[in-house]
Every structure is written in structure tokens, then in C-alpha cells.
Structure 1
Amino acid sequence: MAVLCCLLAWAGPEAFATTDRGGTLVGEDPVAGTPHVLDGEVLSVAQVGGTIVLGGTFTRARNDGSATELPRRGLLAFDAATGQIDPLFHPDPDGPVNVVVAGPAGTVYVGGEFSRIGDQPRLRLARVALAGGTVVPRFDAGAVNGEVRDLRLRRGKLWVAGQFTRIGGRRHRALAALSARTGAARRSPEVKVRGQARKGLGRTTVAQVDLNANGRFLALIGNFRSVQGERRVQLAVLDLRRGAAVTSFRTRFYAAPCSDLYYSYVRDVAFAPSGSYLVVATSGGPGLPGSPCDTVARFETRGTDRAARPSWIASTGGDTVQAVEVTPSAVYVGGHQRWFNNSFGVNSTGPGAVARQGLAALSPVNGLPFRWNPGRSRGVGVGDLLATDRGLWIGSDTDRINGQLRSRIALLPAGGASYPAVGPPRRPSTIYRVQGGDLVRRTHRGSRSGPATTVPGGGPDWAGVAGAFVLGGQLYVAGRDGSFTRRAFDGTSYGPPEPVDGADGLVPLLDWRAELAATTGMFYDRGRIYFTLAGSRRLHYRYFNPESGIVGAVRLVASRKAGGFAPRKARGIFVAGKHLYWTTASGRLRRTGWSQTAQAARPDGEATDVGGPLVDGVRWGPGVVFAGPTVRRGG
């Protein structure tokens, strides 16, 4: 019960697939004036006050607009506003820097594979002052006998992740908590990370960690099989208020193997700002739909599901995603990927694939890309992403973003394109029905319906429409010819139609076109188009991003017959509030509960008649029926 309570407290308003809240993306044109890192790779980006600190494998840099090269081995600091490199900060570690994390009082913690830094002996871990780049003498963790891969600071504790077994003479395998002030290894909390994802292959490693916003929960990924004695393959979450006990969150998703070249394929993990979900990025080679390989996946952190499935999976079709950063508006990802929405691609474009070279902004609701597409020269990939008030910092091993020279570090500015909040109505105040080739509307409240009003012409040829829904002031129409269009619609007049074909640019999504022609009812809810098909006993869905017009490549199943709802017999279907409505062949309007889950929603509860010949004297079906905008009197 204690675990359940803490997880429910952890979950925020974004829990269970979120709602379409709307948001603002960063811009696509990088900010001018950032410095140029001239070799190697930027692996980590941190902000300390008004200073940006980079860690990596580089040795040279220069200011923008200058031809003078500056030696900067592994560490570099520059002014976040002007982009000018700090001339006095060059600690020059003698090995790669994997991670930099902001510390207190103008300092930065540095982890990697070095043995000296700032002319002082520090084996793989140090704290460095930004003023002059000197090592803070009081912080000394002693010998770390393996690579430090990641760091996080929380309330006087520095969490250290990597491929070590001892720190400062104490036994700590892959994860340890140190005193943030002195670097001394703490006896408590002790975290036991054991095993390998594929037994006997590689060394036990915690590759990346992330803290939720209030610092209570620590997510870790890497090459391990158990944490604190409980089976957790490649992904676990710790509750730091309960002595670093593992939470009840557990998934088998990353127990599945990918290519034989990879014994561990998880690459990055990040919490949403609310902490209600986390996102994991992977490599591993192309896999079948539903595979964890070369994907980005979202997991809800609410509840006590002991075998959590992803809420959504975004597939590249065979390319690695190395970095992920979650904001309220988007899941930003970077790697050497060429495509997304590519579940059927095998190092090639499959049906529905869209080009997103090196960078992408995915919808938090369903993982489908937004139109945002600056593109970057791919190289090995993106070492780190950091969202700040000024925008999104991108550290990588390549030189160009959106065709502009920004060598290995770039800032995409805040205040880019916005997208509106959308969703189904809270109640079916006005219901539209195709009748005799015309579209008519009636007000509806409880089981009482108003008189029918014919909507003026100028819209679709309703005789050729298989399904329709209204979303964000747009009427979406599925044609019996396999077309999918949208147009402005206010209940009385129509705008011109435009195709919704964001997933058809590279390889047409022909299965979706065939489904449109066979649709017997459809509606949108929380990032998904739900639909019934002639002769099918299932309620199906595909992901849909209204901002980009991209439809998900994979058809999924929400439910079979449930809650009195029989998909094979339903004709017009729509959702309003917490209820699913549909019409029957005899003209009845029925409803049942509509229950949200992490992956989709489903019918739930007994079905009741809320309209029809015996209730309100109106014959509601069969045919196209949807809830739409309420029109004021005289409209």
C-alpha cells in the first residue's frame, strides 16, 4: 500500500496517455554566435548559471566569427548569452568526459575516463570551479575503478552511474551515492545492481540515470538484470525516499533481444517534467512492430502494474536514437536515425515512414512526429540534449543543423511553432447525422433531442463518406474511395478540403487507405483515431498527430465486444466526455462508459439507450453520426 500511495502521488495530470493540451516547440533555425567545437564529440551539456559547460572527446574549439583555434581538451565553458568561450576555463582532463552536471556555488561535477584534471589527480570523477577551471580540493572520491557514465545531484547526494565495482575503497557496482560536498562514498543507501541483460555478456553497467522533478525517483538504464534483488532488465526506478527501494514499476519490454551485436541496447532515459511518465531511447537494429529495438518508448509511472507495457512505441526502422529530452510540449530525440513512424522498415522506408534526419520532436501523447524537422548531419549521433528557458541545446559529433554551420553544439531557440489543444467534446450537445445524402444536426441533452436542421451544402459528398469526426474546428472525413481529408467546419459552413496525408510522402500507407473505405464509424480521442470496420468484431485504432497529419503505421486493437458495445454491429460511433456513443441498425442511440488506459481507451460498463424511436422518437442510424459544434440560434 505504501508503494501504491507514493506512485499515485508521483503521477501528475499527464498520467495515462495525457490529453491533447497544446504546446509550443522550439524553433528550427539555430541561434547564431554559439562556439564551434572542431573535433571529437560533445557528449554532455550542462548549464551553470549563465554558463554552458560541454564535456566530450574534443580537443579544439573556436569562437564564432574567429579563425583562432583554442585548445580545449574534453571540457569547455562559454557564456550562454554571447556564445564566447571562457578564456580561463580549461581544466584539460587527460581522458574523455562522459558527463557534466551543475554543482553548487559555480561548480560542475565531471565524470568520465580521465586520471588527471586541472593538474590534479582525480580518477574518473571530479568537481571543478568555473572560475579558473580549478579542481575543488575538498571533493575527492578516491579511486573509481571503472568508467563513470552519468551523474545526478540531489539534496547533498551525488549519484554516480557507470561500469565500476569500487569507489573510494568501498564496494559499489555500477551505481553509488556519494557526499556531494566531499565525494566520500556513502554506506547508505546501498543499491545492488546485478547481472547482465544477456547473461554473461559484457559488464554490469548503469549507462544513464534521470531524476524526476522533485528528486524523489531515480530511473536507471543499462546492462543489468536485477536491482535490489528484484528482476529489472535494463530499466528500473528507485524511490529515494524509501532508501532507494525499487518501485513496483517493472517491464519485460527490454528483456527481448535485439541484434547479436548488442548485449545491452538502451541508450537514454528521461522523465517528463511532471514525473508521471518516462521515455527510453534505444539502438539494437530493426525489429518487427512492437519490438524494443531502435525505438523511443513511453512508460507511465503510475500504478502498480508489474508488467508495464509501453504507452506508445516510435520506431526508426533500424537506426539508433541516443538522446532524449522531455518537455511539456514535445519529446525531443536525437541520434543517427533517418526516419520515424517506420515500424515496417528494415534499414529502409516502410509504409508510413517520414523523414526525420538526426533530430525529431515527437508528440507526448502518441510518439508520432510533429512537422518540426530541422534536420542535422547525422554522423554517429547526438551526445546530449538539454532544454532550458532559452531553448534546446544539442551536443553532437557533426557540424550542420538545418543546413547551417553549428559545429557540434547548437541552440534551437524557444518560441517556435505552436499547436492548439484539441479533443472530443465533453458532452454530445449537438449530434450530426447523414440522412438521405444531407447532413442534419440536432441538439441533444440527456434523452431529449431538438428538431432536425439541415446543414447547408458546400461540404463533402455525404453519399461517399464512410466516417467523420470534428476536431479543433476541422471536419475530418473518411471517404469510401479511401481518401482522408479535412476542412474548416463551424456547423453551418465549410472551408475548402485538404488531404491528410502526412504519412504518405515516402511510402504510401495503403492499409490505412483500405481501412478508410471499409470504416463503419470513427472518432478521435487522445492521440488516437478509433474505428470499426465492416465485418470486424474489434474496435481498432491508429495513432494520429493532427498537427502534422501523420497517421500511425501500425493498426492496433482497443477492444473486442465490451461494455455492451459490439463493434461488428455499431454504425456511427463517437466519444463525448467519459462515454462512448454509437448507433444501431434499428436507429437506437446507445452509450457505455469509456475508460482510459495507458495504451488506449476501451468501452466499460452496461450499455443504455439515450435516443432512438422508443426514447426520443428520432431514428439515429444506421449511417455516419458524429458529435460536432453547437450552433447558436439563427446560425
Structure 2
Amino acid sequence: MTRITAFLACLAVGVAVAVVPATSSSATTEPGGGLVSETPAAITPHVLNGEVLSIAAIGRTIVLAGTFTRVREYNGTTTLIRHRLLAFDSVTGRISTTFHPDPDDAVAVVIPGPANTVYVGGDFKHIGLVKRHRVARLSLATGAVIARFNAGAVNGTVQDLRLYKRRLYVAGAFTKAGGRKQGVLTTLRPATGKAQRYLQLAFRGVHRRGLGVPMVVKIDIAPRQRRLVAIGNFRRVGHRRHEQIVMLRLNRRGARLDPFDAPMYRATCSGSFFTYVRALDFSTDGAYFVVGTTGGVTGPTTPCDTVARFETGSRGAVSPSWIDHTGGDTILSVEATPSAVYVGGHQRWFNNPNGRNNAAPGAVSRTGIGALSPVNGLPFSWDPTHQLGVGIFDLLLTPTGLWVGSDTDQIAHTYHPRIGLLLPNGLRYPAVSTPVLPALTYLSLGDDLRARRFDGRTAGPSTELAAQPDQPTWSQVTGAFMLGGWLYVGARDGTFTRRTFDGTTYGAPQAVATSDRIVPLADWHRDLSVLTGLFYDRGRIYYTLPGSRALYYRYFNPESGVVGAVRLIASGPAGAFDPRQVRGMFVAGNALYWSTASGALHRMGWVQTAQAARAAGVAATVGGPNVDGVDWSTGIVFVGQGTASGRGG
């Protein structure tokens, strides 16, 4: 994520200038993953003033861009002058003595270029003694301006750059670049800086009428999908309304509008912002992208002060796959990786949709930096913390670790001014699979638990389990499911616990109460006390409530034990599936099973999408007193699974 502080100030006062698969299969797995450590490396240089706005990695060299002017070796005492650009070795931390370009104003963005060079963009007019307006190409070895590259008089701030297929994409608040009139987003020839006619779409209007000027503040490209997403202060692109966000198809002969649209960003946030989109990043495989915002107006129905995931392949008016609210604090940077979506800004909490600059029920503390599940946006337990200021402007994951650029001095409570490196090999979490049949299926009867083999059509003989000291009081349980070797239990007293269970022996119960540590999530506990059916599938806890026609869900991160603060509706009745009749339910493979008061067990197809989930297809009765001699409504039913691992507390 890259920003110029002066530009952010103008924005603030209004001055013009899962992974969520589409359909379940016979065995759906949420992949496990690993995060970087919470421990920072010792070798990062000390940036002594200003801000680090952008980070680039070229081989083992790291280049920083921003507004700083003074730096120091991590173990040195001599202050060095480095105006707004700095290069150092990512392994030793040693500052380059030859890369000293000396631009005369802020550098908002730096990206790798070909042949050991970098492209830089910002507000500068000169680099050293060489005239270059707001965009330039530099030698990484010497810091010298590459003379052949000259985009001429770019007449407004350059906010972002991307290099893709022989084109340099330039975004900002300009109306002319490379010798051609083309506002806010254009392409230049990477070798010469001359304008191309590849991107001729006009960006018109502004988000809040009469406030600010058209601009693109951030772009990113998914190479495999040949898609570019741009965010900023605009209202229309070409002849269509695309407010604050647009997706372009990068065809061979020209960029074209993609049918994707996100109408939620038409909503207004605080009047202090004439645009509130701030951060953007595609996932590694390009399947989805993440957007971060500021806004100052909060609430579960607003896009203000949020992080949201969108699927690249979605078309038309699209809602996010998930959205996480900070409750009143700005997100400035996102880095979408296979294991986690790293997020930086000056946020204090996540899972806080009802916060108003305070922690509301369910809020989880993540000061300045956090890591969210790609599946549902809920935070992992990973929590190094970062000193608050304006915030973290850029995050970059490399084999060396996660680089963190900001305007403050501490990360993980240690002194690492304005640039930090969180080392690899931190928290790890296991893959989680949807249960499959045949398997042992458990059914409670009073305070007893019985097991029988079930293949989806036929139940085997029942075996009663011997009582154990740490077993749940089954007559007081409202719902249960297994993830790996962990048995999760909701009870009539509103508690949510987990314990290991190997089919015979129970471990000691542990409260799953991360969302209660600041302000208890009372609505969730009320639901737990009365629910009639419960199961987990791909990042969501699904349940039914007495007399309700809805199938509800909340997001859930098993690693951290965070339960979503918002109760969402997956669907209403679907064919023979009526949530009002549920007396127990589970999902296995691509099928939903539920019991009713008659003791019958029914089956329908099960479909989960990014935005909803539902029973589908033709219903079949696969169990019951008149089918297999089993009364499936006697108590709690769940499918056995796996071995215990992970945190989840």
C-alpha cells in the first residue's frame, strides 16, 4: 500500500487537488497455512523521520520510498542523509552507499523494473540535478536516472505504478503523462516513458459531488486473469457508473471494462473524506482481491473502516465474500497471501461492526497490524502489535519475511523505526475438512452418547460410549460438531466449548471465547442457548433457531476461536428443508442431513457460495424409526472426524 501524507491530509479535509469455493464436493478442505513470526529481525535500518510509504524487493535488495530524509544503520551511530529513497541489503541490513538518488519531494511508490532498475512515482520535480516530473526510472546500482526514460511533464501526483506485459501502468491525479492527455490512469512505454494508446477509458466525476478531483489512488494486476483493479475518487469509467472501484480487462489491443461492479462503495462515509478507499491487493493466484478503507462512519451495513474480499470472477453488481469492520479506524495497507491477509493501518480492533471508536461486543484487539483468514476475514491469534500513528502504509511479503513500512518507531514492542521485518516460520494452523461418509456418527440419548457407522443411507448397529469425566452433559447440549479431533459444543447455559475427542476419551473442556475477551458477544451466547441444529462448513458455523424460517450462520476462525460478531442469514426454507422443523443437523460431503420431531433423518444436496448457502435438489428420507429403526431426533447428532491440533481458544 502506498500513500503521500500531504495527499491524505487533503483527502481528510476535502480540499480539491472464503477462500470460499463455489460448490462443495465430496471432500472439501480449507487449506492449512503458516504465518510469519511475531518476532522482528534486528537488522533493519533505522529511518529516523518522515514516513516509509512503499517497499520494493529486487533480489536481496530492499528499496524504501517515502518522505524521510535521515537514516542510520541498525547498529550504527552515524546519521546518513537519504532523501525519500533508501536501498539496503535484506540479509545484512547494510545501507547502500551508491544508491542515493535525492528526489526533491515525496516518493509515493517504488516498484522493480527490468535490468536491475526501479521505477518511482510521487510529487518530485527533480531527482538529483535531473529534471523528472513525478515518475522516473533509476539504476539500482548507482541511483542514477535512466536518461532514456522520460515521461515529460506529468502534471499531477503519481500514486501507484505497475509493470505488466511491456506496459508501465501509472495511476494518480494527473491529466497528462508521457506527452499525452489521459487522466488518472494511463500506460507508458517502459523503456522510454512515452505514452501509449492502450488505455483510453475516461475516468469522470468524483465520489462526493463537488469535492476533490478525479484520481486513482491504488491499482493492482492479476496476471493470470489479465485483470486490473483501480480504486480512487471517480464516479464513472467510460460510459458506466463505477464508483471508487473498477475492474479492467487487459486485452491485447486495449483495456476494456469488466462487468464487475461493487455498489457498496457508492455509500458515503464521513464528510471529511471525498474518497475513502485506501488499500488494494490481489491474492497470489489472482482468484480474489482485498480492499481496505477509511471512513469515520461505522456500522455493520457500511463499507467504512473495513477490509473486504471480492472474487475476481464475479460479474455484475457484486457483494463482498466477507467484510471485517474495525469500528472506526483506518486501513491503509493489505497483503493477500495464501495463508493470511495481512492488514495494516491505525486500527485497534477487528470483528467490530458495531463499534463507534470503541470496542463493541465481539471486538478483538489487533493494534496497528493483524492477519485475517482468507476464508472469512476473521483474525488469527497472530498479534505482534504495531505502534499507532498515521499507520502502516505498505506491507510486502518476501522469502525473507513480512516487511512493514510506517511512520512510527515500534513493532512487537521493540524499536524498529518506520521499517520492520517480521521473520518467517511463525504461527501454523492445520487444514480443516468437511466431514465425509461413511464415518462414525454420534447421537446423544439423555446424558449418554451412542456411535454407529453411517454411510449416508444405512446406519450400522449402535454402540454406547462409556461415561467419561470430561464428557459434555449431553442433556444440556444444544448442538455439536467436530473439526479434526476437536469436539465443539454449544450448551443451554450459552457456553461454547471444545475438547479433544478420539471416539472414546474426552479431553478437558476449553472455553472458545476469544470474541468475549473485551466485550462479551451476548447475542451469540443467546443463540447457543436455544439453537436446534448446528454444524460447521468452510469458515462458517450454521445453525437453526426455534420457530425461525432462516438458516443462520456466523463466521468462525478455528485457529483463534474468534466467532463473527454478526449473525447472517444463509437461506430460508428450500424444498423439503424447513429450518423450523430441525431437531439436529450435519453436513457431510456435498449433502445436508437433518432430523425432525418424527425421528426421521432427511438428506438434500448442499451448496455453499461466497454470499449464501442452501439445501438443494431432491430430498430423501435416509433414516428414522420406519427406515432403519433409529430415532434420529433423540438428541445431538454429529460426525466424527480427525485428530486434534490448532489453538481455537
TM-score, structure 1 length as denominator? 0.95
Cα displacement (A) at 1:546: 0.6
Name the CA distance, whole Å, in 2 between partners of 1:428 and 1:597: 25
Q: Secondary structure at the match of 2:526?
A: helix
Tell me whether 1:587 sits opposite 2:589 in the alignment. Answer: no
Tell me whether 1:625 sits opposite 2:637 in the alignment. Answer: yes
Tell me whether 1:100 sits opposite 2:110 in the alignment. Answer: yes
Give per-residue Cα distances to partners, 1:236-291, cap 9 Å, x unaligned.
Answer: 11111252111111110100110111111000111111111110000001322121
Q: Which residue of 2 aligns with 1:336?
A: 346
Q: Which residue of 2 aligns with 1:259?
A: 270
Is the 1:228–1:245 Cα contact (8 Å) retained in structure 2?
Answer: no
Residues 1:390 and 1:128: Cα distance change in structure 2 (over 3 Å): same
Cα displacement (A) at 1:601: 1.8
Name the CA distance, whole Å, in 2 between partners of 1:246 and 1:276: 18
Tell me whether 1:216 sits opposite 2:226 in the alignment. Answer: yes
Equivalent position amino acid for 1:465 in 2: V
Is the 2:41–2:421 Cα contact (8 Å) retained in structure 1?
Answer: yes
Tell me whether 1:119 sits opposite 2:124 in the alignment. Answer: no
Name the CA distance, whole Å, in 2 between partners of 1:456 and 1:449: 20
Give the % identical residues. Answer: 56
Q: Which residue of 1 aligns with 2:567?
A: 555
| Structural mapping, 1:467-478, within 5 Å | 467-478=479-490
Q: Which residue of 1 aligns with 2:251?
A: 241
Cα displacement (A) at 1:614: 2.3
Q: Which residue of 1 aligns with 2:279?
A: 268
Cα displacement (A) at 1:426: 2.4
Is the 1:522–1:532 Cα contact (8 Å) retained in structure 2?
Answer: yes
Name the CA distance, whole Å, in 2 between partners of 1:500 and 1:14: 23
Q: Secondary structure at the match of 2:515?
A: coil
Name the CA distance, whole Å, in 1 between partners of 2:611 and 2:91: 42
| Structural mapping, 1:11-160, within 5 Å | 15-16=21-22, 20-160=30-170
Name the CA distance, whole Å, in 2 between partners of 1:14 and 1:608: 27
Name the CA distance, whole Å, in 2 between partners of 1:449 and 1:510: 38
Instruction: Specify every segment of 5 or more residues in structure 2 that has no aligned partner in the other structure, as ranges.
Output: 1-17, 644-649
Is the 1:432–1:628 Cα contact (8 Å) retained in structure 2?
Answer: yes
Equivalent position amino acid for 2:463 in 1: T
Q: Which residue of 1 aligns with 2:380?
A: 370
Give per-residue Cα distances to partners, 1:482-539, cap 9 Å, x unaligned.
Answer: 1110000111111111100010110001111111001111011111100111221111
Q: Which residue of 2 aligns with 1:327?
A: 337
Tell me whether 1:302 sits opposite 2:320 in the alignment. Answer: no
Tell me whether 1:352 sits opposite 2:359 in the alignment. Answer: no
Give per-residue Cα distances to partners, 1:523-581, cap 9 Å, x unaligned.
Answer: 11111100111221111111110100010111111111113210111111111111111
Is the 2:19–2:374 Cα contact (8 Å) retained in structure 1?
Answer: no
Give per-residue Cα distances to partners, 1:59-94, cap 9 Å, x unaligned.
Answer: 000001111000001100001111111011111100
Deviation larger for 89-98 or 209-218: 209-218
Cα displacement (A) at 1:591: 1.0
Q: Which residue of 2 aligns with 1:402?
A: 412
Name the CA distance, whole Å, in 1 between partners of 2:60 and 2:642: 50
Residues 1:629 and 1:149: Cα distance change in structure 2 (over 3 Å): closer
Cα displacement (A) at 1:199: 2.2
Q: Which residue of 2 aligns with 1:577?
A: 589
Give per-residue Cα distances to partners, 1:152-177, cap 9 Å, x unaligned.
Answer: 00121000000000113311110000
Q: Which residue of 2 aligns with 1:529?
A: 541
Name the CA distance, whole Å, in 2 between partners of 1:208 and 1:450: 59
Tell me whether 1:422 sits opposite 2:432 in the alignment. Answer: yes
Q: How many pairs are equivalent?
A: 619
Name the CA distance, whole Å, in 1 between partners of 2:351 and 2:265: 20
Q: Secondary structure at the match of 2:594?
A: strand
Give per-residue Cα distances to partners, 1:392-437, cap 9 Å, x unaligned.
Answer: 1000001101111111001111111100011321235221111132
Name the CA distance, whole Å, in 1 between partners of 2:270 and 2:348: 19
Name the CA distance, whole Å, in 2 between partners of 1:119 and 1:60: 20
Is the 1:15–1:277 Cα contact (8 Å) retained in structure 2?
Answer: no
Tell me whether 1:440 sits opposite 2:445 in the alignment. Answer: no
Deviation larger for 459-468 or 421-430: 421-430
Tell me whether 1:292 sits opposite 2:320 in the alignment. Answer: no
Residues 1:276 and 1:630: Cα distance change in structure 2 (over 3 Å): closer
Is the 1:491–1:630 Cα contact (8 Å) retained in structure 2?
Answer: no
Equivalent position amino acid for 1:90 in 2: H
Is the 1:428–1:576 Cα contact (8 Å) retained in structure 2?
Answer: no
Deviation larger for 236-245 or 314-323: 236-245
Instruction: Specify every segment of 5 or more residues in structure 1 that has no aligned partner in the other structure, as ranges.
Output: 1-11
Give per-residue Cα distances to partners, 1:586-625, cap 9 Å, x unaligned.
Answer: 1111011111211232111221111112222222114211
Equivalent position amino acid for 2:377 in 1: G
Give per-residue Cα distances to partners, 1:26-70, cap 9 Å, x unaligned.
Answer: 000101111000000000000111110000000000001111000
Name the CA distance, whole Å, in 1 between partners of 2:22 and 2:361: 28
Equivalent position amino acid for 2:50 in 1: G
Q: Which residue of 2 aligns with 1:514?
A: 526
Residues 1:504 and 1:428: Cα distance change in structure 2 (over 3 Å): farther
Runs of at least 4 residues off by over 3 Å: 12-19
Tell me whether 1:165 sits opposite 2:175 in the alignment. Answer: yes
Name the CA distance, whole Å, in 1 between partners of 2:437 and 2:161: 48
Name the CA distance, whole Å, in 2 between partners of 1:446 and 1:394: 50
Name the CA distance, whole Å, in 1 between partners of 2:72 and 2:92: 13
Q: Secondary structure at the match of 1:110?
A: strand
| TM-align CA RMSD | 1.5
